[in-house]
Amino acid sequence: MTVNSQSDPRDAYGTADQRAPVIGAREIVISADAETVWDVLAGIDRWPAWNPDVKWVSIEGDVVEGTQFRWKSGSGTLTSTLRRVERPYLIAWTGRIFGIDAVHVWRFEPHDGGTLVRTEESFDGFVARLLRRPLRKTLDRALESGLRHLKVEAERWARD
């Protein structure tokens, strides 16, 4: 995918694709500083240890733009590419699974001694257009679950 910030709806991956047929967004406040929350999420190889929705992850290289990682979530195996990495404020990746092009963006900002975490994801492609409603429900559940697990782990790190 070529990104042109003047015409691309993903704002050079600063946001999910707002024109995609399936889009979801959620937020949560975590009682940990942004660096801690960042460290938990950016530790991609450790996701299976704290997020039961992720069965395994393989990443080769550092958490920098262009790095690819493979992972299994639910019934699918995804290959994702880190597109924006701005420690400790933003991390975004794209991926493709079952004919669906996904864009996932995480934003972190200080909030009353903790961190406000906003996540959004979009699905595009024929399958996303065909299965719009069920995929929206699946995406909403996945975003909520991911935020809950991230909150528990980041707050555990903050206590330790």
Q: Find the CATH number of the domain harbouring 116.
A: 3.30.530.20
Tens of each residue's pLDDT in the chain, 160 residues: 334 334 444 466 889 999 999 999 999 999 999 999 999 999 999 999 999 999 999 998 999 999 999 999 988 899 999 999 999 999 999 999 989 999 999 999 999 999 999 999 999 999 999 999 999 999 999 999 999 999 999 999 999 9
Q: Which residues span the domain enclosing 48?
A: 13-159
Say if residues 106 and 87 touch (Cβ distance below 8 Å): no
Whether 2 is covered by a domain: the verdict is no
In angstroms, rounded to a whole number, what is the distance separating the alpha carbons of residues 76 and 72? 6
The total number of structural domains in the chain stands at 1
* CA distance between the termini of the chain: 41
The pTM (predicted TM-score) of the whole model is 0.91
